[in-house]
Amino acid sequence: IITHSLGGGTGAGMGTLLISKIREEFPDRMMATFSVVPSPKVSDTVVEPYNATLSVHQLVENSDETFCIDNEALYDICMRTLKLSHPSYGDLNHLVSAVMSGVTTCLRFPGQLNSDLRKLAVNMVPFPRLHFFMVGFAPLTSRGAHSFRAVTVPELTQQMYDPKNMMAASDFRNGRYLTCSAIFRGKVSMKEVEDQMRNVQNKNSSYFVEWIPNNVQTALCSIPPRGLKMSSTFVGNSTSIQELFKRVGDQFTAMFRRKAFLHWYTGEGMDEME
């Protein structure tokens, strides 16, 4: 599992180089990345669109599953849901860590569906290149705060599928889910979870492709995360993730058309055709 950002030089350039080298050395290993995608509202480097475009090209080829996380969406969650007026990087990282903890629950605790990265990929990736996932977490609490309200499975499910809870700034209502996976933690009844998931699928059937039957996977883990009684993590493979790439692509085109900042790359030995 590799965590990197696609905006800066190190995460994008060095990160994808590392991925391709690991791929060469260990071709049979599963490669999962948690990739922070740049967003127009929260930008700290001018050349983010270049870096992101170059590294997505590498991720398509060399990564087996990529969890897309977006600074803009994280800021939105901090401000809207957690009511933090000036979120720090610590607050954003707290959100990312919640999702990472949820996704890797199945690897860390025994006896699970999706008990390793390969099984997750089998369930989530219908076509090898379509391995970019949206992630969400419920219940969202701010750093250091404990959730005092008891949450129920229906509430968790509703929060988890809420577009405001997604950590990538693309709205799943503009696309369709190929596959989804939900990981519930805590004292949860399997029957209740299955019923809720069936409910979601029946009510929102237009948001799920019809050519993959039973495309919502659920996993349960009896050990809840610290400070919570129950939680759920959502991983979705939705076609609306293209909004995120389109946004980066549009910015890339706008800059590349003017050949802006290209000399930084050609100076390092890259070719314009690349």
Output the domain CATH number for residue 237. 3.40.50.1440
Give the angle subtended at the CA of 83 by the CAs of 77 and 88, to the nearest 5°: 70
Q: For position 84, what pLDDT does the model report?
A: 87
Q: Is 272 among the domain residues?
A: no
- The pLDDT score that the predictor gives to residue 228 is 85
Residue 50: count of CB within 10 angstroms of its CB:
23
d(CA 185, CA 57): 35
DSSP characters over 145-190: ----SPP-HHHHHHHHT-GGGBSSS--GGGS-EEEEEEEEEES--H
Q: Is 271 a member of any domain?
A: no
Q: Output the pLDDT for position 146.
A: 62
Report d(CA 183, CA 244) in Å as an integer.
24
Based on the number of CB atoms within 10 Å of its own CB, is 206 exposed (0-12), middle (13-18) or buried (19 or more)? exposed
Task: Please give the pLDDT value at position 96.
Answer: 92
pLDDT tens across the length of the chain (274 residues): 999 999 888 989 899 999 999 999 999 999 999 999 988 777 778 888 888 998 999 999 999 999 999 888 999 999 988 888 888 888 889 999 999 999 998 888 876 676 678 888 999 999 999 999 999 998 887 776 665 667 888 888 988 888 888 999 888 899 999 999 999 998 888 899 989 999 988 988 899 999 998 888 888 888 888 888 889 999 999 999 999 999 889 989 998 898 888 888 888 888 877 7
Q: How many residues are there in the chain?
A: 274
Residue 50 maps to a domain: yes
pLDDT score of 229: 87
Q: Tokens for 150? A: 């008891």
Domain for residue 274, yes or no? Answer: no
Query: Which residues lie below 8 Å from residue 262, measured CB to CB, with a gap of 6+?
Result: 256, 272
User: Residue 266 has what pLDDT?
Assistant: 83
Q: How far apart are CA 177 and CA 132, in angstroms?
A: 12
Only one residue has tokens 């929060």, namely 159
Q: Name the residue among 240, 168, 184, 250 with its Cα closest to residue 208.
A: 240
For residues 107 and 128, give the distance between their C-alpha atoms in angstroms, rounded to a whole number.
22
Q: Which domain holds residue 184?
A: 2-266
Structural domain contains residue 62: yes
Specify if 273 maps to a domain: no
Query: Per the structure block, which two tokens stand in for 208?
Result: 């799920």
Q: How many domains does the chain have?
A: 1
In the sheet that 2-5 helps form, which strands lie side by side, from edge to edge? 2-5, 32-37, 65-70, 132-138, 230-238, 177-186, 216-221
**Residue 247, both tokens:** 């946004």
pLDDT at 17: 93
Question: What is the distance between the alpha carbons of residues 102 and 225, in angstroms, rounded to a whole number?
Answer: 8
The pLDDT value recorded for residue 40 is 73
**Assigned domain for 66 exists:** yes
Supply the pLDDT for residue 236: 94
